[in-house]
Amino acid sequence: MVGRQSGSVHAAYGRVLRVERRGVLAGSLHVSGTIESCGTRGGTEHVDGGRIQDLDGGQVRRPSIKDGAAIYL
C-alpha cells in the first residue's frame, strides 16, 4: 500500500498487507492476517490471530488530544 488510508482496515486471515515507506494507516485495524509496515500507522488495533510487524523504518504514531478527542496523524 502506498498513500494514506484513514478509516477501518481488515487484514484477512492468510493475507498480507504491506505498507510502503511513505504509506500511512490511520484508523482501526482488525488483524487476522499480517500487516507489514515500513510506513506510519496509528489508531486502535484488534489482533485476532494475526500479527503486525513494524519493519525497517516503520513507526507507530501516538494520538494528539484535542478537545477530548484522539487525533491520529
Q: Distance between CA atoms of 58 and 65, rounded to whole angstroms?
A: 23
Average of per-residue pLDDT values in the chain: 90
Helix (H, G, I), strand (E, B) or coil at 8: coil
- Residue 71 reports pLDDT greater than 80: no
The per-residue pLDDT for range 9-43, each reduced to its tens digit, is: 999 999 999 999 999 998 899 999 999 999 999 98
pTM of the model: 0.82
Q: Do the beta carbons of residue 31 and residue 11 sit within 8 Å?
A: yes
Q: Distance between CA atoms of 2 and 24, rounded to whole angstroms?
A: 8
Band of pLDDT at residue 69, cut at 50, 70 and 90: confident
Chain-centroid distance of CA 34 in Å reads 11
